[in-house]
Copies of this chain bind each other. A is one copy, B any other.
Amino acid sequence: MSGYHHGDLRRALLTAAVTAIEKSGPAALSLRDLARRAGVSHAAPTHHFHDKAGLLTVLAADGFDRLADQLTAARTGSFLDLGVAYVRFAVANRAHFAVMFRPDLYHAGDPEVIAARERAGRALYDGAADRAGVDPEQAREEGLAGWSIAHGFATLWLNGALPDQGDDPDAAARAILRHLRPDGP
């Protein structure tokens, strides 16, 4: 704390953004509010992110990166594990997850975002393709089916929409994702 210079404002703003988004969603985010939370003048954020979309762009890229990491790590397990890893990521990184799929809110054309998103996509598809010596079209469909059910479950969970929703998303996800057909139709 130098008094004038914050020291790590960029990181502090990102952390504050995550907290704010977890509470009120990405649409309600305000740069002035983040500056307030970081104890800094309201014009300071501009210095690090240029504008609001710039900040969300960083969050989105960061989210896709983390997702790619977790999916890649889960590749050693079963196809089911891959889906569970997806849900776990979403629940553990609600703010990032909420931003990632709202490309209208950030600079979706940003090279870093594109790269991170492709990395995550590859981790998911490779994970799906791995698990059978199957036809590519078949693998594609199964990948999409797995993505859909994991994404849907995570979304419903985060919305609190599920009836009798407990507090163990991992176990709940596993029970539901099991119902994906593990082999061809």
1/0 contact trace for A127-166 toward B, CB 8 Å? 0000000000000011011011111111110011111000
Question: With a CB–CB cut-off of 8 A, which chain B residues contact A155?
Answer: 101, 151-152, 155
Asked if A25 is an interface residue, CB under 8 A from chain B, the answer is yes
Q: Is A73 an interface residue (CB 8 A)?
A: no
Which of these, B152, B179, B181, contacts A151 with CB under 8 Å? B152
On whether the beta carbons of A144 and B101 are closer than 8 Å, the reply is no
Q: What's the dominant secondary structure at chain A's contact region?
A: helix
* Chain A interface bracket (under 10, 10 to 19, 20 to 34, 35 or more): 35 or more
Q: Is A1 an interface residue (CB 8 A)?
A: no
A97 CB, min distance to chain B CBs, angstroms: 12
A156 touching B151 in the complex, CB below 8 Å, given contacts A179-B180, A181-B179: yes
A180: chain B residues within 8 A (beta carbon): 145, 149, 179-181
How many angstroms between the C-alpha atoms of A121 and B164 in the bound complex?
A: 13
Contact of A149 among B102, B145, B162 (CB under 8 A): B145
* B163 lies within 8 A of A148 (CB): no
Question: How far, in angstroms, from A163 to B141 measured CA to CA in the complex?
Answer: 11
Contacts of A175 in B (CB 8 A): 141
A residues in contact (CB < 8 Å) with B: 24-25, 27-28, 101-104, 121, 141-142, 144-145, 147-156, 159-163, 175-182, 185
- Inter-chain pairs besides A150-B152, A152-B155, 5 sampled, C-beta below 8 Å: A101-B155, A144-B162, A145-B178, A149-B149, A152-B154
What 10 A-B pairs are tightest by C-beta distance, nearest first? A152-B152, A27-B27, A145-B179, A148-B152, A151-B152, A148-B153, A149-B149, A181-B181, A148-B149, A145-B176
